[in-house]
Structure 1
Amino acid sequence: MYEAASSDPRKPSAPATGFPVSYSTSTTEAEVYSYSYGPVVVPVPPPHPKPIVEWSTGLCDCFSDWGNSCMTFWCPCVTFGRVAEIVDRGSPSCVTSGALYSVISAIFFVIGVRWWCGWGWGWVYSCFYRSYMRQQYDLRGNACTDCLIHFFCEPCALCQEYRELQFRGFHMTIGWHGNVEQRSRGVAMTVATAPPVEQGMNR
């Protein structure tokens, strides 16, 4: 009834694995599985660009803050040092940034490259901070306008940046660490003076 298995040792026998040797179809089961249940890659949309905002004050609004305008006119290194400390978040300090600003201006003055307004060549250093500040707060402008503004009107540019940080809640005279301490103290006082929550009657 059944054909007896061949006892000829020269004839190869099928491997005893329990799986068929070949399929009648051209696509294997593994390929069907990979095609049917393969990983689906969903593209992630790019993040939306942040909106560009205007400066809180204009470039020529120096008369709105006479104290800062006079200080910047006579000693721009102080204004720049305070701005740089806030933008750099405390490192380097106001004294270090202001001293470096003065050194750059003095070096150019000694070698004979004098600026016609008498403000020195500190604008070469300060224009980079304007660009950095714009990136932090998404302010309008570009690298070209930053250089032109600082080149032709360094005091007005420094005053505008000073007023912008004041508008954003920074106290410029106490530096970065002073602002951080003041804000953390304000949060602690708010938590300490929060009104207690009235509980309902317990039965």
Structure 2
Amino acid sequence: IMSTFVVQQPRPVMVAQNSDEWGSGICDCCEDVPQCCFAFWCCPCFACITTRDYGECLCLPLLEIFGGLIPPITMSMRVSMRQRYGIRGTMCRDCVYSTFCTSCSWCQMSREMKKRNYQVVLVGAKTT
């Protein structure tokens, strides 16, 4: 009796994030604790890095010191990200999150970029 075994390597799987909702909630900081700590303890640095990764000027968030009650850059980034990724929401909600939950808002935007910009890299793949 001859047995034949077929062995297959696991294939890369990419989950597309095409939802019209945020991939995580505003208070889902436990999804990435180191990132959350960085944003909490040094929000200006974290905001600058997130803005750069989004494709905007690194120092853009530093202009918020010239803003008034509502942080204009944080709110603009939320609105821009919602438009880029087709996320439902309102400017009123963006305004509230930007004003009262600034660090959490930047964390949420960073997590969203990571989820939506997922890339698959194959290392050592061979064709047979």
Q: Same fold (TM over 0.5)?
A: yes
Q: How many corresponding residue pairs?
A: 111
Output the CA distance in 2 between the equivalents of 1:65 and 1:137. Answer: 21
The structural deviation recorded for 1:160 is 0.7
CA offset at residue 53 of structure 1? 1.3
Cα distance in 2 for partners of 1:132, 1:53 equals: 14
The CA deviation string for residues 60-103 of structure 1, in whole angstroms up to 9 with x for no partner, is: 11122211111111111222122222333xx42x3x33xxx235
| Selected match of 1:130 from 69, 75, 78 | 78
* 1:12-61 C-alpha deviation (Å, 9 max, x unpaired): xxxxxxxxxxxxxxxxxxxxxxxxxxxxxxxxxxxxxxx86111111111
The reply on whether 1:70 has 2:31 as its aligned counterpart is: no
Tell me whether 1:166 sits opposite 2:114 in the alignment. yes
Secondary structure class of the residue paired with 1:65: helix
Superposition RMSD on alpha carbons, in Å?
A: 2.8
Larger radius of gyration: 1
> Given that residues 48 and 62 in structure 2 are in contact (C-alpha distance below 8 angstroms), is that contact kept between their aligned partners in structure 1?
no
Map 1:23-38; keep pairs closer than 5 Å.
none
Q: 1:141: Cα distance to partner?
A: 0.7
In the alignment, the residues of structure 2 paired with residue 142 and residue 75 of structure 1 have an alpha-carbon distance, to the nearest angstrom, of 27
TM-score for both structures, normalised by structure 1: 0.46
**Structure 2 counterpart of 1:61, from 4, 7, 28:** 28
User: Is the counterpart of residue 195 in structure 1 residue 123 in structure 2?
Assistant: no
Gaps of 5+ in 1: 1-50, 116-120, 171-182, 197-203
Q: Which has the higher contact order (CA 8 A, sep 6+)?
A: 2
Q: Distance in 1 between matches of 2:64 and 2:117?
A: 30
Aligned to 1:35: none
User: Once superposed, which parts of structure 1, at least 4 consecutive aligned residues long, lie more than 6 Å away?
Assistant: none
Q: How far did residue 194 of structure 1 move?
A: 4.7
Q: Identity of aligned pairs, percent?
A: 26
- The one of 58, 64, 88 aligned to 1:104: 64
Equivalent in 67, 70, 84 of residue 51 of structure 2: 84
Equivalent residue for 1:142? 90
Structure 2 unaligned regions, length at least 5: 1-17
Residues 104/58 of structure 1: CA separation in 2 closer, same or farther (3 Å cut): closer
In the TM superposition, 1:167-182 aligns within 5 A as: 167-169=115-117
